[in-house]
C-alpha cells in the first residue's frame, strides 16, 4: 500500500537557531518541538524530502540536482561557528528532474541547478526533524514576482510526488518583517496570523485557496509581509494538498516576546 504523505508549511525561525541555543535560550523550544513531531506525524520514512524554500528565488522554478549539496550561509552577524555548520544530507538528482518535469508539464518555467547548496531555510528547519542528515533532500525555488496563483499551481503540479514517497515541506515564516521583529510588530503579526489561521483551518478548500490569492487584503498583511517571499512556500504546500483539511501544527502568540507565528499541515498525518 502506497503512503500518501501530507504536506507542510513551517515557520522556520531565524538564521541558524538550532546551533545557537546558548544565545537564544528557550525562544525556539516550541518551534523545535513542533518540527521534531513532524517525523512522528509522518510515520513511514519518506524516500526523500522536497523543500520549497523562501531563501531561493529564480526566474523559474528550479530544483537542486546535485548529489551532495554544499552549504549556503545566507545570514549575517552570527557567531563564527554558525559559518562552519554542516548538514550533509545527500541530494537526489532523479527527484530534481522529476519535479522539474512535473512543473514543466503544467506549463510552468522550470529547470534544475546542480550547484545549489542548502540554505538556512532548509538546513535549520530540517535539522530537528532529521538530525542524522541521512534523508535525501531536494530544494525547489520560489519564483520572482510572487504570484500566489502560480505558486499554488506549482503545488498542484508537484502533488503526484506525495504518492511517490516524497515529503513536501514549504519553508518560510508566517510573519516576516525584520524591521519589526519585536514589540513593534506585535499588532500586525497577531492580526495577520489570526486571519491566516481562520483561512487555513475554517474555510472549505475552494474558499481557502481564494483567500490566499487575496492575502494582501488581510488585516496586517503588508506590515507582516512587506516582501512576501516567506509566504510563497505556503502557497505551494497548500496547492499540493489543495482539497485536503489543514491542521495547526505550531503556534505561538509570544514568539520573541510579542509575535504570533504559525505552521500548518495539509492532509492527514500518516501515523
**Over the stretch 174-190, which tens digit does the pLDDT of each residue have?**
998 866 677 877 999 99
Q: What is the mean pLDDT of residues 50-56?
A: 98
Place of cell 505551494: 236
Residue 159 pLDDT exceeds 90: yes
**Greater pLDDT, 210 or 25:** 210
Mean pLDDT of 106-133: 98
Which cell goes with 219? 488585516
Q: Is the alpha carbon torsion for 57, 189, 17, 14 positive or negative? A: positive
Helix (H) or strand (E) holding 95: helix 93-105
Q: What is the mean pLDDT of the chain?
A: 95
CB 90 within 8 A of CB 136: yes
Cα three-residue angle 14-112-120, rounded to 5 degrees: 10
**Residue appearing with cell numbers 522550470:** 110
DSSP, collapsed to helix, strand or coil, labels residue 5 as coil
Band of pLDDT at residue 270, cut at 50, 70 and 90: confident
Domain 7-266: CATH superfamily, name plus number: LigB-like (3.40.830.10)
- Of the candidates 15, 224, 205, the one whose C-alpha atom is nearest the C-alpha of residue 121 is 15
pLDDT class of 90 with cuts at 50, 70, 90: very high
Task: Identify the pLDDT of residue 117.
Answer: 98
Amino acid at each position: 500500500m502506497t503512503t500518501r504523505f501530507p504536506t507542510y508549511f513551517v515557520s522556520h525561525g531565524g538564521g541558524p537557531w538550532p546551533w545557537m541555543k546558548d544565545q537564544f535560550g528557550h525562544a525556539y523550544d516550541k518551534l523545535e518541538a513542533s518540527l521534531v513531531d513532524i517525523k512522528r506525524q509522518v510515520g513511514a520514512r519518506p524516500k526523500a524530502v522536497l523543500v520549497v524554500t523562501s531563501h531561493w528565488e529564480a526566474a523559474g522554478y528550479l530544483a537542486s540536482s546535485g548529489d551532495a549539496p554544499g552549504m549556503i550561509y545566507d545570514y549575517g552577524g552570527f557567531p563564527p561557528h554558525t559559518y562552519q555548520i554542516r548538514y550533509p544530507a545527500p541530494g537526489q538528482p532523479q527527484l530534481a528532474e522529476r519535479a522539474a518535469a512535473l512543473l514543466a508539464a503544467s506549463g510552468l518555467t522550470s529547470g534544475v541547478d546542480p550547484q545549489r547548496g542548502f540554505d538556512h531555510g532548509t538546513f535549520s528547519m530540517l535539522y530537528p526533524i532529521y538530525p542524522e542528515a541521512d534523508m535525501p533532500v531536494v530544494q525547489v525555488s520560489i519564483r520572482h514576482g510572487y504570484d500566489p496563483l502560480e505558486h499554488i499551481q506549482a503545488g498542484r503540479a508537484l502533488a503526484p510526488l506525495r504518492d511517490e514517497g516524497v515529503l513536501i515541506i514549504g519553508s518560510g515564516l508566517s510573519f516576516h518583517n525584520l524591521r519589526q521583529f519585536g514589540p513593534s510588530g506585535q499588532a500586525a503579526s497577531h492580526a495577520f496570523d489570526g486571519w491566516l489561521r481562520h483561512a487555513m483551518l475554517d474555510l472549505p478548500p475552494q474558499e481557502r485557496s481564494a483567500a490566499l490569492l487575496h492575502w494582501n487584503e488581510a488585516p496586517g498583511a503588508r506590515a507582516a509581509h512587506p516582501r512576501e517571499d516567506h509566504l510563497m512556500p505556503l502557497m505551494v504546500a497548500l496547492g499540493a494538498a489543495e482539497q485536503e483539511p489543514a491542521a495547526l501544527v505550531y503556534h505561538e502568540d509570544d514568539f520573541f516576546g510579542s509575535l504570533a507565528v504559525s505552521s500548518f499541515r495539509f492532509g492527514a498525518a500518516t501515523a
